[in-house]
Amino acid sequence: MPIHYIYLILAVTAETIGTTALQASAQFTRFWPSVLVVVAYALAFYLLSLTLRYMPVGIMYAMWSGLGIVLIALIGWLVFAQKLDLPAIIGIALILAGILVIQLLSDAGHHS
28: left (phi over 0), alpha (psi -120 to 50) or beta: left
pLDDT at 1: 87
Structure letter (DSSP) for residue 9: H
Asked if residue 93 belongs to a domain, the reply is yes
Nearest to 7 by CA among 57, 46, 56, 62: 46
Please check whether residue 8 lies inside any domain of the structure.
yes
Q: For residue 76, is it within any domain?
A: yes
- Residue 112, in any domain of the structure: no
Instruction: Report d(CA 61, CA 87) in Å as an integer.
Output: 24
- The domain in which residue 7 lies consists of 3-105
pLDDT by residue, tens only, the chain of 112 residues: 899 999 999 999 999 999 999 999 999 999 999 999 999 999 999 999 999 999 999 999 999 999 999 999 999 999 999 999 999 999 999 999 999 998 888 888 676 5
Is there a domain that residue 17 lies in?
yes
Q: Where are the alpha helices (DSSP H) in 52-110?
A: 57-78, 86-105
From residue 34, alpha-carbon distances to 18, 21, 49, 76 in Å are 9, 7, 23, 18
Number of domains in the chain: 1
* Residue 110 falls inside a structural domain: no
Question: What is the reported pLDDT for 112?
Answer: 57
Q: How far apart are CA 79 and CA 81, in angstroms?
A: 6
**Measured at the alpha carbon of residue 14, what is the angle toward residues 54 and 43, in degrees to the nearest 5?**
70
Q: What is the DSSP letter of 107?
A: S
